[in-house]
A and B are shown apart, each in its own frame.
Chain A
């Protein structure tokens, strides 16, 4: 299964490099990657545009899927995800604010600053949701609350964008729709560092996560420190989804659809398997969607979130129908 996913990853990576407004033959790709090709144009396209973009799609997609799985474990509900709970929107609002404030004073905000503000935004939203979660015991009401928070944050973001200066809008516009474009290697290093760490920590938490799937009481009875576990889980998923939101803007449904598909595919919920598989799956999913976003209506580029919604939303609908049937 893992071999299959890795193969899918490889195939979509190659396709992502090869396809586009300029088609690059496989042979040239290999040569460019091994730095044995002198074709300046191919080299620029691959090293400056396509490779950074696909690496970013893979890393952020993986991060989103893992973040979704962490949230699903936390809430004991397979429909929880960073986008649905409004966490992505919160991060986006914080980033929009930061960008405008920073862009006024200096030329560009570094990616670390953006990640940090996204993190604060997402954790603020998460905190708000947790406050509600204590009052609203029912999962569906919690989700509705999350969606409402998402709308509120989006409205405020749109408001800010509307009154921002022309030059800021250009920057914000593309970003706030969700996109993997315009990535440089510095961004990638930052994103990989954060998501890599988050991924490793998630794996380390897979044991208590497994116990937590049986509910809080059983987890506590086998020795899980529930309070620390929950804090760690929230911080981790918050960091992961904030990082994605900071670099690529809001990307919908990956966090729900991918973990679900992975669990179906592997027929298990064991975190030790699902976390790495979801990471790979998320990477493949986002690379595929990005490819479609780039190439479907050339020269116009769709935003990634549109494509992920087209593929992700039906999965979620199927999932809900199946759940209803299972009781």
Chain B
């Protein structure tokens, strides 16, 4: 039987005996990246804190590398799991290196003097997060991103098999977010460290994770691959999205488009329409789009933002009904925008549309 890195069975977690989540079960293999997603207050932190024994579990079991969580001694647990928490710490007069060195705690002697080996581990960890140059700086005098990296270095110093991170990307700008996640991915791939974390950025969660855990207060936890869980409806119900939607294919969030009678008809292909769609949606102008092949990038987004999309089967010549519908729309709307449509042998009838728009005096280029 495969031994899991983290194995959770029928777990109930919460505060003061009141469960926030119950019947949570999942298994994480070694070196996997598992991300918890879900709305604020949904129980992500509660679950993470329970798994690393910061909180008492209310029911069920947690196994870490095949051993029951409650049977592991504090020191052994500290050698197997390390955490990066959301608690903002403000230690006074402490250098980054001293913070990182705190991760050697489970390995040092009774008064915590670092051995040569410990010093080497600390240096290596600081190097891994590219903070060697800032080692002697005061922890309070570096940026949020650097602080976060120092805390990760601290976790690395524990030489853990599992690192648990609670929203490690909060307070970071996009560059540092990407750097941080690539670092975590490297640790998982190269050293087989299991990563269990919560993220707010569902787009990043979708891209980095091997498995996803959808956590929502009062509802059963869903566990699976990103492909299984990142569906438009899944995300919509998880976060109770009413305005806009999450596009699992693009991994992007879209604001909702305006509804009503179309005011503009957009001609485009191969992604040239996307900025125009977003601008129209942003200005609250309902629009129609066409004639788009069903495999076109524009077609995918137009379905979310436009009030009507005229489509045609991929790689087929434009059919009469599609052409007729597009003509009708062009006659109806006050403006036609050409966002840069490519015309080839299959879709040559687009020229007729452009001609019609020009004769009606509605034609314009984006």
Binding site for B on A (CB under 8 A): 78, 203-204, 206-207, 210-211, 213-215, 217-218, 220-225, 263-264, 267-270, 272, 326
Contact = CB atoms under 8 A, between A and B. Distances in A.
A214 B52 CA distance: 17
A196 B105 CA distance: 26
B297 interface: no
B91 A222 contact: no
Given A207-B110, A218-B87, A223-B77, 19 more contacts: A203-B111, A204-B111, A207-B105, A213-B94, A214-B91, A214-B99, A215-B87, A215-B89, A218-B83, A218-B85, A218-B89, A220-B53, A220-B54, A222-B78, A222-B102, A222-B158, A223-B75, A223-B78, A268-B95
A203 B85 CA distance: 28
Given A211-B105, A215-B87, A224 B111 contact: no
A262 to B, nearest CB: 10
Contacts of B73: 223
A214 B83 CA distance: 12
Nearest to B91: A213
B78 A214 contact: no
Contacts of B178: none
Interface of B: 49, 52-54, 73-75, 77-78, 81-83, 85, 87, 89, 91-95, 98-99, 102-103, 105-106, 108, 110-113, 140, 154, 158
Contact of B89 (A78, A210, A214, A220): A214
Nearest to B164: A221
Contact of A221 (B83, B89, B113, B140): B83
B111 A269 contact: no
B103 A222 contact: yes
Contact of A217 (B77, B83, B98): B83
A326 B90 CA distance: 11
Nearest to B83: A221
Contacts of A263: 92-93
Nearest to B74: A223
Contacts of B75: 223
B93 A267 contact: yes
A221 B82 contact: yes
B111 A217 contact: no
B111 A211 contact: no
A223 B93 contact: no
A214 B102 contact: yes
A64 to B, nearest CB: 20
A316 to B, nearest CB: 14
A223 B83 CA distance: 12
A222 B105 contact: yes
A222 B92 contact: no
A224 B154 CA distance: 16
A78 B91 CA distance: 10
Given A214-B89, A214-B91, A269-B92, A221 B98 contact: no
Contact of A211 (B52, B53, B54, B102): B102
B234 to A, nearest CB: 32
